[in-house]
Amino acid sequence: MPDVLYVPILKGRQGELAALAAIQPLTRQAILPVLEIVPGAVEEPERASQLRTLISRTAKRLETWAGSRLLLDAAFLPPEAAPGDEFGALGNSVIAAIDQGVDATPVVHLDDDPQVYRDAATLHGELHRGVALRLSTEDLDEDSEDIEDALTELLDTLHVERGEVDLILDLGAVNGDLSVRAGARLVVDVLRGLSTVDEWRNVIVVGGAFPSDLSAYEAWTLGEAPRYDATLYDYLRQRRRLRRIPTFGDYAVTHPILSGLPYRSAPHLRYCVADRWLVLKGRLNDPRGHDQFFEICERIAAHPDFAGAALGNADARIANPRRKGPGNASTWREVSTTHHLDFVVRRITTLGEP
């Protein structure tokens, strides 16, 4: 297997999971996705059974990822184990994914519930697949010595070595030049302060620059959103004094913060190009309804920065949208995400930059 080139963080919804099945074989080999299991409506007194259903449904959709590795993050779910159950949400999620043939690695954080650590330690003790450790901006803003002490203590708790751990430096939302410079300084300080930076299995820096929603974009007016996450990574690549250049990661076409209740959206595309996203949406009250997606695709395909139908399944559909139906909100997210993953991997493999 080639080295990991790109780490996208994806919400475990239908569109993103379908994108993992639609990407090019080269993209699949080059990426290490972080999948966040997204909760549905989970209320007492049936929370435990609803959680099991949610985990089972998400894992079932991962069957197309069988034979490949991903990092599984259950931080949005209640962590505790149900009565009589050895595992909490994280452990049950990883086991369910493994049952589908997926090489799933549990993701932990510095402020997790003890049950999460018990799940991760037990899984590693039985399966020897290691863990992923995801640090937030608040974690990264601590003194280097405090960060190293916290990492060492957690690794002792989990009974893992650094060579068995994927270290994720997650900057969250990156919006604007000031955010880019501040985030880059934070990552540089952490990487320079870690005495053992070369020992980790992977070191990954992640940021998300896509807006939280499309409300700022007018219907049928081509909008643009700068890829500040890619700008930040390019800045890091140019820092010659870093002992280890981290792997690039982003949140694809989704904002880092999980939004609340799902909302009805007009047909749209979020189309990644070199330094920005092209954003085009229709209208909710248009009598054409979902068929607006055909025209949206045709306009994007006519844009000078369109990657071409040969890039992959998403771009082939955009180039000739009327071969299939217009789909729905999950379809539009699938097409946008599939293109994003294929496009970023092509840029990394051909240009050395995301």
Mean residue pLDDT across the chain: 94
Determine the Cα–Cα distance for residues 307 and 343; give it in Å rounded to an integer.
8
Q: Is residue 175 part of a domain?
A: yes
Q: Is residue 135 part of a domain?
A: yes
- Residue 172 structural domain: 6-32+130-263
Which tens digit of pLDDT belongs to each residue from 63-105? Answer: 999 999 999 999 999 998 877 789 999 999 999 999 999 999 9
Q: Is residue 124 part of a domain?
A: no
Determine the Cα–Cα distance for residues 8 and 349; give it in Å rounded to an integer.
16
Model pLDDT, residue 258: 84
DSSP 47-97: HHHHHHHHHHHHHHHGGGGTTSEEEEE-TTS--SPPTT-S--HHHHHHHHH
Q: Is residue 350 part of a domain?
A: no
Q: Is residue 213 part of a domain?
A: yes
Proportion of the chain above pLDDT 90, given as a percent: 87
* Between 149 and 47, the higher pLDDT residue: 149
Q: Is residue 152 part of a domain?
A: yes
Number of structural domains (the chain) is 1
pLDDT(149) > 80 = yes
Model pLDDT, residue 45: 38
Model pLDDT, residue 221: 98
Model pLDDT, residue 1: 36
Which tens digit of pLDDT belongs to each residue from 225-279? Answer: 999 999 999 999 887 688 899 999 999 999 999 876 566 889 999 999 999 999 9
The whole-model pTM stands at: 0.96
Q: Is residue 63 part of a domain?
A: no
How confident is the model over 141-160, as a mean pLDDT? 96
Model pLDDT, residue 260: 61
Q: Is residue 160 part of a domain?
A: yes
